[in-house]
Amino acid sequence: MKPAAFEYAAPSSLQEATKILADYNGEAKILAGGQSLVPMLNFRLLKPQILVDINRIPNLDYIAEHNGGVRIGALTRHYALETSPVIAARFPVISEAMRHVAHLAIRNRGTLGGSLSHADPAAELALMAILLDARLTAASASGTRIIEAKDFFVGALSNALEESEILREVEFPGFPLFTGWGFEEFAQRLGDFAVAAAAATLTMSGARCTQCRIAVIGGETVVRAVNAEALLTSSSLDDKTITAAAKAAAQATPMNSDLRASSDLRAHLVEALTRRALEAAKHRALEKQQ
Amino acid sequence: MSVEVRPKLIGARIKRVEDPRLLTGQGSFVDDRQPARMLHVAFRRSDHSHARITNIEPSAAAKMPGVFGVFTAADMNLMAKPVRATSRSKDYHATEMHALAKDKVRYVGEPVVAVLAESRYLAEDALEAIDIEFDSLPTVIDPEEAMKSGAPLLHEEAGSNVLLTRQFARGDADGELLTAPVRVKGRFRFGRKTPLAIENRTYLAEYDAGRQALTLYSSTQVPGILRDALVDILDISSHQLRVVAPDVGGGFGGKSSLYPEEIVVCALAKRFGRPVKFVSDRLEDLATTSQGFDEILDAEMGFDKDGNILAYRAEVIGDVGAYSIYPWTAALEPVQVISFLPGPYKIPNYRGRVRAVATSKSPTGPYRGVGRPISTFVTERLIDMGARRLNMDPAELRLRNFVGPKEFPYKTCSGIVWDQSSFTECLERACKEIGYDAFLKEQAGARASGRWLGVGFASYAELTGIGSRISAAPGMPINTGTELSTVKIDSTGSVTAIFGIASHGQGLETTLAQVVADELGARMEDVRVIQGDSAAVAHSTGTYASRSAVLAGGAATLAAKAVREKIIRVSSHLLEAAPADIRVEHGTVFVTGTDRKMTFKELARAVYSEMGRVPLDIREDLEATKQYDPVFGTTTSATHVAIVEIDAKTFRVKVLRYQVVEDCGKMINPLIVDGQVHGGVAQGIGAALLEKIIYDDKGQLLTASLVDYLVPSAAEIPPMKVSHIETRSPSTVGGFRGMGEGGTIGAPGAIANAVSNALSHLGIEITELPITPEQLFRAVRQSTK
Ligand SMILES: Cc1cc2nc3c(=O)[nH]c(=O)nc-3n(C[C@H](O)[C@H](O)[C@H](O)COP(=O)(O)OP(=O)(O)OC[C@H]3O[C@@H](n4cnc5c(N)ncnc54)[C@H](O)[C@@H]3O)c2cc1C
């Protein structure tokens, strides 16, 4: 478990970094927190020619309020997100989700950009990005572009970035008023990647649900449970509809089968967790109206 | 006049003297040694489960930068003999193991080629350049298939994959089971587990060419066993080999066997005269450190209608993996399962038969608890299943069938003798401590509101501190029944106590110092414990099988007492007092009723340095070496109680409360006893709920990293309460009983019973460990169909 030889660069600007990426033409790997990349190097699953360490690039580590939402720099550590008062106030669902990401030592190193780029189908931050319609800014030598979260995760461990692009910033657009949220995860141990998870936001106007977002972990990528969302939108969030929506969420994507759980169990878990997340979201939304 | 007023060290909650060193990074582990000119060895391992090696092409690797040499079986066999774990047991077949696989590989991870290089990085680069051609042979994965005649053979010369068959019987279990009014049975499976010490296996061999002497620094539990085996394998004499176990970061049995890598580092260091180090990485640890617990049991128990056990029968299949491990043999765990199935119960009719079956998986060996986590799981499950059928309280059913307080010593139907033990007392106290009656009410209320709570007991007895009349594994050609201790006061008055055991986390430097200080009359801080060094004593095996406190503690007691007698004799002369008036305390000799006294320092100077002060005819060295042999060993018993909650929707099992009541006899240090129980229970919880080594049908290891092999972390371990009953062992010096393994023995059964109890409204009985969410999901779905 020792990596193959590689070169190492620690550029001090984004321009410099993107230039190295372009120069090495697919043979470079970005090093952020290293919590996912380094194990893969040690197993020799990856043998990049060069590591581009982006930790010395200034101004990539920030949480800034913007238009009722937040913009977060790609190098922001998990621990910073977990403990940020801005996030707690604006996106309490993210604060809650972060507590389920790995262990403290890993959260001290792991970064938002690293987690999203790594695109693990069971990552809580991918779930948040999909749930909250995040907008991702990618930078390359030729400029920047915005990628919607729904277009970013193209498969397990695979994202929509070009090899010469760096994920620079993630924007979470503002939460509508009177929105409640719920987050539920099942993992056998605290800090493990989710076997299954569900997160939801429900926006209420009086007794009606005006907007519903549900995202689930269990399949090849995180997905939105659009059929479930449709059932709930405009409903009064009665028990029957929530039950039906939870069932629909379990069918939002074909579920994975692996050592941890069969696809049957994952579907069962997604249904149960979605139900709990919806109930929590409804409860919080109603509370806010009072 | 000689009233003892001084508080004894034995029995005191003294903080571990090794901890400041270990916790501040000042320990000295094998990998901390960095001798000059050291080379690293890395292994190209088999990626086949069972295959013939048709060609190895090492030349490209040999030319890589920093590579010193590339070695195969052909090279190694010139330097080291193959290993065979022999046994006098009948119906046993030893297997031949070469340090580097010869002709055939038999499990994924088996070392095939060794690369010696300037660094581990360069060695691993070279591994990738080695080309090995394999000719696949049929895998031998399912032990039941492997037992069938005509199954592909792993060791052709054994003629069968069944390496051992053994049976214990008393009375007519088969006949009684035909007519017993109440019978319960099941097919039970205990998943394969790996010890997972925090320090991976690490070896460093240094060769002193001038003296032709080899020193092996090994993260081992058994330096003495290694020394004795390696001198034969390397064909050197034993003064040419010293095996040192420095600080060792846990073992749990996984470091108590001889490993191929140990042979390779010794052979290469000797051959090239340079230090050679091997540091196993976690992948290698998961794939190649001896595994355990892989057993299938078809077991049945019969009761009369009052709940008295009439008969017990079990057919056991032990999946022992690719080799019969040295020195324990493939008999170790399988035979312990059938030896200990009767547990603390009176069972008039018993038949337990086991077959140990070789499969193309990593070899198994000792793992904390050996056999008894399995026997306890199965017996305790059957007791609970019986209680349910009899409509009796499970605690009551146990009490009815225990060997009672007045029935000791008691010979079980497998031939083990329980000395005076606390089966009944442990269970009664456990019910009280956990608040059993109150919990039953809480449970009923919870169930009405859809919450699944359950309580489970596991009561067990284990034989610990075994002596020379009982082998740790039947028929083994080594003596595991004795230990030596030398206690000496040097010319400065310091006390050194020397042992062959090898503490690797148990705190033996503390507990043995407590024993020596008390028995000698020294101060704790004056006693230095030396252990883990094969050169320190004439014979020793090491630390395993809950033996060190009993055997080394016993030897220390005898040696310290002998030195104390010498102190009394010489100070009677020096202080001009009758021996009966001499008191030795706190490192000082007092004459009772006077102010005359001498410190150990003064005494030692008088004995060793002040020429002529002690006349020749009464002069004695202040030193003694004693051997201790507990002959049969002694019994340790306990009851564990777990209270669990199962999430009815996600099937998450949460252990809410955990109580242990145990009797390990006279406790040397209750703080350390508690710590050992806590750690053991944590590992038992791992076995019950999380940990399983999984091979697919191609023999590939699927749990090859800690992402897939789940060990409990602090968050999964509940608060635990440990209570003690201290019945001095009638069989051992000091009254100590061994207690290093008990936590792991009780926990799997207690949790399996608690989970079954929580699911009793669905009629679900747990028969397989670990209890995964998948297993519960399927069982619940099945039962509610
Ligand atoms: C024991 C353990 C448990 C874990 N548990 C969880 C868990 O429960 N949930 C969870 O979500 N995660 C978990 N993780 C993963 C952890 O969150 C990682 O930190 C994260 O996935 C990757 O972040 P990083 O900054 O360490 O990225 P790195 O490891 O540095 O990089 C990961 C990948 O992303 C690329 N990359 C990094 N930054 C950028 C960027 N700005 N632009 C483009 N590409 C980039 C890298 O080239 C690499 O391919 C766990 C990790 C460990 C070791």
Summarize pLDDT for B518-537 with one digit per residue, the tens: 999 999 999 999 999 999 99
CATH 3.90.1170.50-classified regions of chain B:
33-137+198-250+255-288
Q: How many C-beta atoms lie closer than 10 Å to residue B7's C-beta?
A: 8
Which pair of tokens denotes residue B581? Answer: 């008036």
Does the structure show a pLDDT above 50 at B1?
A: no
Q: Any chain B CB within 8 A of the CB of A45?
A: no
Q: Which of A30, A9, A11 is nearest to A164 (CA)?
A: A30
State phi, psi for B232 to the nearest 5 degrees. Answer: -70, -45
User: Is A7-53 CATH 3.40.309.10?
Assistant: no
Domain ranges, ordered by start, for chain A? 7-53, 63-172, 179-288
Report, as an integer, the average pLDDT of B298-321.
98
Looking at this predicted complex, what is its ipTM? 0.96
Structure tokens at B160: 């069968």
3-state secondary structure B336-389: HHHHHCCCCECCCEEEEEEEEEECCCCCECCCCCCCHHHHHHHHHHHHHHHHHH
Determine the distance in angstroms separating the CA of B716 from the nearest CA of chain A, rounded to an integer: 7
B409 prior amide bond cis, ω within 30: yes
Q: What share of chain A is helix, strand, coil (3-state, %, to 5)?
A: 40, 25, 35
Which of the listed residues A118, A120, A168, A195 should we mutate to test ligand 1's pocket, taking the one with most ligand atoms within 8 A of CB? A118
CATH class, A179-288 region: alpha beta
Contact in structure between B673 and B699 (CB atoms under 8 Å): no
Q: What is the pLDDT of residue A176?
A: 83
Instruction: Tell me the CA distances in angstroms from A90 to A86, A94, A177, one per residue in order.
Output: 6, 9, 11
List alpha helices for B99-139, DSSP H.
120-127
A262: which chain B residues are within 8 Å (Cβ-Cβ)? 774
Q: Which of the following CATH numbers is that of domain B371-467+632-773: 3.20.20.80, 3.30.1330.60, 3.50.50.60, 3.30.365.10?
A: 3.30.365.10
Angle at B284 between CA B281 and CA B286, to 5 degrees: 110
Q: Kindly report the protein residue whose alpha carbon is nearest to atom 23 of ligand 1.
A: A114
Q: How far is the CA of A49 from the centre of ligand 1 (A)?
A: 20
Top mutation candidate among A8, A27, A30 for ligand 1, by most atoms within 8 Å of CB:
A30
Mean model confidence pLDDT for chain B: 96
Cα A133 to ligand 1 centre (Å) = 20
Average pLDDT of B498-519?
A: 97
pLDDT at res. B35: 98
Helices and strands (DSSP H and E) totals, chain A? 12, 14
Q: Indicate left, alpha or beta for B215 from its phi (over 0: left) and psi (-120 to 50: alpha).
A: beta
B773 touches chain A (CB under 8 A): yes
B785: pLDDT confidence band, cut at 50, 70 and 90?
A: confident
Fold category of B33-137+198-250+255-288 in CATH: Aldehyde Oxidoreductase; domain 3 (3.90.1170)
**Ligand 1 centroid, distance to A68 Cα (angstroms):** 28
pLDDT digits 0-9 by tens, A157-174: 999 999 999 999 999 999
- pLDDT tens for each residue of B714-761: 999 999 999 999 999 999 999 999 999 999 999 999 999 999 999 999
Determine the atom of ligand 1 nearest the C-alpha atom of A60.
41
Rounded CA-CA distance A47/A49 in Å is 6
Q: Are strands B653-663 and B720-724 parallel, antiparallel or unpaired?
A: parallel
Q: Which of B281, B650, B774 sits opposite A1 (nearest CB)?
A: B281
**Across the interface, do A188 and B773 touch by the CB < 8 Å criterion?**
yes
CB of A114 sitting under 6 A from ligand 1: yes
Q: B718 CB near a chain A CB, below 8 Å?
A: no
Torsion over CA: B158, B159, B160, B161 (sign):
positive
Pick from A100, A103, A265 the residue to mutate for testing the B interface (most B CBs within 10 Å).
Answer: A265
Task: Decide if A150 contacts A137 (C-beta within 8 A).
Answer: no
Tell me the C-alpha distance between A129 and A223, whole Å: 10
Q: Does the CB of A261 have a partner CB in chain B at under 8 Å?
A: yes
Of A177-186, B1-10, B613-622, the least confident: B1-10
Q: What is the pLDDT of residue A80?
A: 98
Q: What is the DSSP string of B659-722?
A: EEEEE-BS-S-HHHHHHHHHHHHHHHHHHHHT----B-TT--BS--STTTS----GGGSPPEEE
pTM of the model: 0.97
Q: What letter does residue B761 receive in the DSSP assignment? A: G
pLDDT at B414: 93
Q: Classify domain B19-26+482-628 at the CATH topology level.
A: Aldehyde Oxidoreductase; domain 4 (3.30.365)
Query: Each residue of B214-251: pLDDT tens digit?
Result: 999 999 999 999 999 999 999 999 899 999 999 999 99
Q: Looking at chain A, how many residues does it have? A: 290
Rounded to the nearest 10 degrees, what angle do helices B394-401 and B372-390 cross at?
A: 110
Phi, psi (rounded to 5 degrees) for B142? -85, 115
Token pair for residue B133?
A: 């051609």
DSSP label at B493? S
Distance CA B668, CA B726 (A): 11
Cα separation, B331 vs B85, in Å, equals 10
- Asked whether the beta carbons of B42 and B127 are under 8 A apart, the reply is yes
Query: Is the CB of residue A30 below 6 angstroms from any atom belonging to ligand 1?
Result: yes
Amino acid at A107: R
For B173-213, the pLDDT digits (tens) are 999 999 999 999 999 999 999 999 999 999 999 999 999 99
Q: Which residues pair with A214 in a beta bridge?
A: A200
Say if domain A63-172 classifies as CATH 3.40.30.10.
Answer: no
Q: What share of chain B is helix, strand, coil (3-state, %, to 5)?
A: 30, 25, 40
The model's pLDDT over B125-144, given as tens digits with 9 standing for 90+, comes to: 999 999 999 999 999 999 99
With cut-offs at 50, 70 and 90, classify the pLDDT of residue B162: very high
Q: Which among B283, B717, B774 is the top mutation candidate for probing chain A, defined by the most A β-carbons within 10 Å of its own β-carbon?
A: B774
List, in sequence order, the alpha helices (H) in B435-574: 436-448, 508-520, 548-574
With a 6 Å cutoff on the Cβ, whether A164 touches ligand 1 is no
Would you tell me how many other CB atoms lie within 10 Å of the CB of residue B558?
Answer: 18
Q: Which residues of B630-656 are buried (b: 16+ CB within 10 A; e: fewer)?
A: bebbbbbbbbbbbbbbbeebbbbbebe
Report the DSSP pairing between strands B309-321 and B349-358: parallel
User: Residue B498: enclosing H or E segment and its boundaries?
Assistant: strand B495-499
Contact B716 A190 (CB under 8 A): yes
Percent of chain B with pLDDT strictly greater than 70: 99
Q: Could you report the per-residue pLDDT of B559-583, keeping only the tens digit for each?
A: 999 999 999 999 999 999 999 999 9
Q: In this complex, do B710 and A189 lie within 8 Å of one another by their Cβ atoms?
A: yes
What is residue B142's three-state secondary structure?
coil
Q: Are strands A28-31 and A153-155 parallel, antiparallel or unpaired?
A: unpaired
Residue with the smallest CA separation from ligand 1 atom 6 is A102
Q: Which residues does chain A have with pLDDT short of 50?
A: none
Phi, psi of A88 (to 5 degrees): -60, -35
Residues 6+ apart with CB under 8 A from B590: B582, B583, B584, B596, B597
B298 touches chain A (CB under 8 A): no
User: What is the DSSP code string of B80-91?
Assistant: ---EE---S-TT
* In B46-90, beta strands by DSSP E: 51-57, 67-71, 83-84
CB proximity list for A213: less than 8 A, separation 6 or greater: A131, A132, A133, A200, A201, A224, A229
Residue B147 exposure: Cα atoms within 13 Å on the Cβ side: 15
Q: Write the DSSP string, B394-452.
A: HHHHHHHHBPPTTS-SEE-TTS-EE-S--HHHHHHHHHHHHTHHHHHHHHHHHHHTT-E
CA-based max dimension of chain B: 93
Q: Is B585 helix (H, G, I), strand (E, B) or coil?
A: strand
Give the distance, in angstroms, between the CA of residue B676 and the centroid of all CA atoms in the same chain: 12
Is the peptide bond between B366 and the residue preceding it cis, with omega within 30 degrees of 0?
no
A254-288 in b/e form (b: 16+ CB < 10 A) is: ebbeeebbbeebbbbbbbbbbbbbbbbbbebbeee
Pocket test for ligand 1, best of A117, A128, A144 (most atoms within 8 A of CB): A117
Per DSSP, what are the bridge partners of residue B299? B186, B314
Chain B touched by A262 (CB under 8 Å): yes
Ranges assigned E (strand) in B209-258: 213-218, 241-244
Within a 10 A sphere around the Cβ of A19, how many other Cβ atoms?
A: 16
Element (H, E) at A267: helix A263-289
What CA–CA distance (Å, rounded) separates B195 from B684?
11
AA letter at A199: A
What does the pLDDT read at residue B6? 60
Question: Does any CB of chain A come closer than 8 Å to the CB of residue B694?
Answer: yes
- Ligand 1: residue whose CA is nearest its atom 27: A114
Q: What are phi and psi for residue B205, nearest 5 degrees? A: -110, 130
Beta A196-205 vs A50-53: how paired, if at all? unpaired
| Alpha-carbon span B691 to A87, nearest angstrom | 36
The whole-number pLDDT of residue A290 equals 79
Given a cut of 60, whether residue B613 has pLDDT beyond it is yes
